[in-house]
Structure 1
């Protein structure tokens, strides 16, 4: 049913983000109950990134789209910090870590590309 949705679902950044969000949801299933806050933060950041891509795409203006893409980029930055924490304490490792980092890097690159290209198109300077 959802395969028929147009628009933002065709964006590679949204697709990669959706895959990353699913991978995070699977990875946290084996975390102990003492990590409930970290689990919530990981899920929230991964879901937020994808949701902001969709929300920005459906917004009424290019300015809003750029803002939502930059928010998604920020959520991915937050997620990257949590992924590194998980690696350091041994919660995500091996092939699972490699796939998570790969998807994270790909999605961060894609959403940065979208954001910066739109900013350039609108002649907006961004550090």
Structure 2
């Protein structure tokens, strides 16, 4: 195992960045009239996941880190909802959404695992 020097070394943060990147790419195909609607919502949620992981990691206390991990998990749930709705109303394909949701499930498992370790 390599040493963790800062938040960018965290696999959980790296996965969050990967998810956000995929969300930015998928929303580039959305209609222009969704720029300030669903595009903005998806991108905000997606960027919030790694941002909260990074911010929480930089905090001094475990309790604060746990709080930011919980916020990241909330953003994952919100992002999944927006992606499902986008697929259902025809803004993107179910296949595109399924690939991102699979990554969200992995991220959720990692967040829960870290939270459990930190709580004990």
Q: How many residues align?
A: 116
Query: Deviation of residue 95 (structure 1)?
Result: 4.3
Query: Deviation of residue 90 (structure 1)?
Result: 2.3
Inter-partner Cα distance in structure 1 for 2:99 and 2:59? 31
What stretches of structure 2 of length at least 5 have no aligned partner?
Answer: none
Match of residue 114 from structure 1: 114
Inter-partner Cα distance in structure 1 for 2:98 and 2:77? 17
- Calculate the TM-score normalised by the size of structure 2: 0.88
Match of residue 69 from structure 2: 69
CA displacement, residues 70-120 of structure 1 (integer Å, 9 cap, x when unaligned): 11111111101001111211222254233212111111221122223322x
2:58 is equivalent to residue 35 of structure 1: no
Local SS of the residue matching 1:30: coil
- Calculate the TM-score normalised by the size of structure 1: 0.83
Inter-partner Cα distance in structure 2 for 1:6 and 1:50? 16
Match of residue 59 from structure 1: 59
Inter-partner Cα distance in structure 2 for 1:9 and 1:39? 26
Local SS of the residue matching 1:99: helix
Query: Deviation of residue 12 (structure 1)?
Result: 1.7
Runs of 4+ in 1 over 3 A off after TM superposition: none
2:66 touches 2:118 (CA, 8 Å); kept in 1? yes
Inter-partner Cα distance in structure 1 for 2:90 and 2:12? 28
Match of residue 98 from structure 2: 98
2:31 touches 2:91 (CA, 8 Å); kept in 1? no
- Cα RMSD of the aligned pairs, angstroms, is 1.6
